[in-house]
Structure 1
Amino acid sequence: MNALSLLRGLRFVDSFFPSGGYAFSSGLEAAVYGGLVKNAEDLSRFVFESLTTGIGEREAVAAGVAHDAFVSGRLETALKADRELDAMKLSCEGRTASRQMGRQVIRVAAGQSEPPPLLADYQALVESEKTPGHMAVALGLALASAGWSKEDSIAAFLYQAATGYVAAAMKLLPIGQREGQGLIESWLPAIGRVSKQAAPQRVFRSWSPVQDIYAMRHSRLESRLFRS
């Protein structure tokens, strides 16, 4: 990957990018209030399971499929992945969060000067609500258009999800920035491994019942800091 491709893609996973991810905890807030996650060790276990057997076998695969769709020029492949993700995400809040973040990604990606036609077509379908526009699909398309490899695109999606968990945890738990960085570093080998495993996959799977249950419980919290 050349430097220009690297920079074009990095902005989509940078904390400065206006995806709105800061407003979502992906069920972590409910897990904290429910007593499941009390400290960094609990957080690490919660996130590791999500990265490996949860989004690592569902959204990570979707990001790879979307990457393939861009490379092959077959938009229908990305649309099928979008619909399948929408059906598999059990939490209404989780679906909404993923859609809102994905919409921001594709707006920026398709808003560049002389955008690839496939990105413009996908954005049009998202804006007209003819496809959900999930984050994993939008990011897979955006990073493919920037020239990133499929495996690197999947890793970037998982890394962005991991940092989102840590950002939320720093508001919910007595965890500082250095400890947060240590947690992210401890997950990097798993992110690399999952990215490699997900790249050739086409079938979406997911086994993260604890994370899914707390994501669904979030809407019933009496007071909430996050939207999911």
Structure 2
Amino acid sequence: MNTRSLLTGLRFVDSFFPSGGYAYSSGLEAAVQGGAVKTSDDLARFVTESLTAGIGEREAVAVGMAHRAFISGILEPAMTADHELDAMKLGYEGRMASRQMGRQVIRLAAEQNDRSLLIEDYQAAVEADETPGHIAVAMGLTLAAAGWSKTDSIAAFLYQVATGYVAAAMKLIPVGQREGQRLLDGWLEVIERVSRQAAEPCAMRSWSPVQDIYAMRHSRLESRLFRS
């Protein structure tokens, strides 16, 4: 990967990117209030399960499918992944959060990448409500357009998910920045392994009942800091 490709893609996975991700906890807030996550060790297990059996077999695969679609120049597989992902995301809040963040990514990608008709076509389909526009699909297409490899694109997406969990946890439980960095370091091997697996052609699947249940409970919390 050359330096320009690296920097172009990094803008979309950086916390500074205006996707609105800071407003979502992906069910973590409900898990904290429900007593499932009280310490950093609890958080480590919660996120590891999500990265392996949940997001790692669902969104991570969708990133890879979208990346392959861009490389092939055929948009249909990416849109198929988008619709499958929409059906598999059980919680309404999480589903809508993913759509909102994906739309932000693809709008800016289409605006700033005037050499990719496929990106423009996907963005037009999203705006016309012909496809949901989930962030995993948007990121797969965008990072492929930036020149990133499939495995690196998936890893970057998963790392962004992990940092999002840590950022939310710092507002919900006694976890500081140094502890957050320790947690991220512990997840790197998981992210690397899951990224390699998801990069191979495979069907999306998901088994993360604990995370899904807490994500669905979030809307019924009496007090909330996050939107999901």
TM-score, length-scaled by structure 1: 0.99
Identity in percent: 75
Residues 122-180 of structure 1 deviation map (CA, whole Å, 9 limit, x = unaligned): 00111111110000000000000000000000000100000000000000011100100
Amino acid aligned to 1:88 = M
Shift of 1:113: 4.8
1:15 and 2:15 correspond: yes
Amino acid aligned to 1:24 = Y
Shift of 1:217: 0.4
Q: CA RMSD, aligned part only?
A: 0.6
**125 and 42 in structure 1: CA distance in 2 versus 1, 3 angstrom threshold:** same
TM-score, length-scaled by structure 2: 0.99
Q: Distance in 1 between matches of 2:21 and 2:201?
A: 26
Q: Which residue of 2 aligns with 1:123?
A: 123
Q: Does the CA-based 8 Å contact 1:109-1:115 persist in structure 2?
A: no
Amino acid aligned to 2:122 = Y
Q: Distance in 1 between matches of 2:118 and 2:75?
A: 7
Shift of 1:201: 2.8
The 5 Å alignment of 1:194-205 reads 194-205=194-205
Q: Does the CA-based 8 Å contact 1:31-1:214 persist in structure 2?
A: yes
Q: Distance in 1 between matches of 2:200 and 2:189?
A: 18
Q: Which residue of 1 aligns with 2:41?
A: 41
Amino acid aligned to 1:198 = A
Q: Which residue of 2 aligns with 1:188?
A: 188
SS in 2 for 1:159: helix
Q: Which residue of 2 aligns with 1:225?
A: 225
Stretches of structure 1 that go unaligned for 5 or more consecutive residues are none
May I ask how many residue pairs the two structures share in their alignment? Answer: 228
Q: Which residue of 2 aligns with 1:94?
A: 94
The 5 Å alignment of 1:78-227 reads 78-227=78-227
SS in 2 for 1:11: helix
Runs of 4+ in structure 1 deviating by more than 4 angstroms, as ranges, are none
Residues 180-224 of structure 1 deviation map (CA, whole Å, 9 limit, x = unaligned): 011001000000000001101330011110000000000000111
Shift of 1:38: 0.2
Residues 80-116 of structure 1 deviation map (CA, whole Å, 9 limit, x = unaligned): 0000000000000010000000001001111115240
Q: Distance in 2 between matches of 1:74 and 1:147?
A: 17
